[in-house]
Amino acid sequence: MTTVIPGFRAIIPAGGAGTRLWPLSRRSEPKFLRDFTGSGRTLIQATWDRLMPLTGPDGIVVVTGQAHGAAIVHQLPGGVEILIEPSPRDSMAAIGLAAAVLEQREAGVIVGSFAADHAISGRSEFGAAVGGAVEAAREGYVATIGIAPTGPSTAYGYIHLGEPLVGLGARRVAAFVEKPSASVAAEYLATGEYRWNAGMFVARADVLLDSLARYRPALHQGLRTIAAAWDTPDRARILDEQWPALEKVAIDHAIAEPLAADGGVAVIPAGFAWDDVGDWDSVARLLPAGDDDVRRLGEVGRVLAVDAPGATVVSTTGRAVAVVGVEDAVVVDMGDVVLVTRRDAAQQVRDLPSALAAEGDLSLL
């Protein structure tokens, strides 16, 4: 049984277009609002499901843009607070805003940020890892959770493990390293001293904000000013004044990397399975194969497959789908468009919404 962690609040930044998961992921219904694992829960619902036991139903804050606030309210239970960003200013502003608002309300609160659109299996291992991160956070670290690599992925950044932190079940982060080449990734794996960076950060809100003050003082000042006005009648006015000027920067660059260099970041090596659900190859990996070696998602009708090992069929229409002689085919069948690709070409799918957007054709976006 996982139990609520006292003084812990979760922040879910819900942004990102998920253009590699077009056409199921759309502007009006991006990745986090869709079920990409066949669980019956959308990605943000599944994120809520795994955090709620650790925070309690009132301990989760979602940060999102104006376009998706209503859909998130619709998908999540009533107790969830939703902070609306006037415009996207990257993850440091989103997470920093929530941390500053929560710290303003409750000094000493511990916050953890978790993306709205990742998939995790192993609920109790996840809870244990978050618990370990909270312990490290209580000791003044910004703590992250390091995912055990299942292969030499070139799609993720890596965390280089440093020395053990006595009494914490954590290790110091020696460094965050960028997405490596395949050969470098293989070297990392061979050492056993690297973990995937899933972008999960747990810290005392005051520690997080003090770090921000150190590395990005202007951004810190703006967020503190907004937070001070958040629960007052001045919120809108101050947001209008301050938000557009905030620096657009990822939390990794703003805090995690420089603070790790200064020895202030801890990592909990975790055992649960994690996937960023980044593209159709990810989705195919996450879906169970049927007896016919076909992976299905959504309202899939009859599937006919001949010489089509590893096929994945996604549908919102219930139509029959036939695949002949295309290995690792991915077919996404929707009312207005059908996408045909292969798992090994999945990264290129993002080029399609980009091309449509560049032409100003919004009909399929």
| Nearest-approach distance from CB 356 to its own copies, in angstroms | 7
**Binding-site ranges for its own copies (CB under 8 A):** 23, 302, 304, 306-307, 319-326, 329, 331, 333, 335-342, 344-346, 348-349, 351-352, 355-356, 361, 364
State which residue, 267 or 311, has the beta carbon closest to its own copies: 311
Contact 249, 316 (CB under 8 A): no
Rounded (10°) CA dihedral 30, 317, 333, 325? 150
Separation CA 104–CA 102 (nearest Å)? 5
CB of 331 to its own copies, least distance (A): 6
CA distance 26 to 338: 14
Max CA-CA distance within the chain?
64
Q: How far is the CB of 275 from its own copies (least distance, A)?
A: 21
Measured from the CB atom, the residue of 245 and 340 that comes closer to its own copies is: 340
- Residue with Cβ nearer its own copies (82 or 345): 345
Q: Give the start-end residues of each E strand in 100-233.
A: 110-113, 119-121, 142-147, 158-165, 170-177, 194-204
Query: Quick check: bond before 23 cis, omega within 30?
Result: yes
**Rg of the chain over all Cα atoms, to the nearest angstrom:** 21
Q: Pick between residue 163 and residue 336 the one whose CB is nearest to its own copies.
A: 336
State in angstroms the smallest separation of the CB of 325 from its own copies. Answer: 2
Rounded to the nearest whole angstrom, what is the least distance from the CB of residue 41 to its own copies in the complex?
Answer: 27
Question: Which CB, 129 or 314, lies closer to its own copies?
Answer: 314
Do 14 and 26 touch, CB atoms closer than 8 A? Answer: no
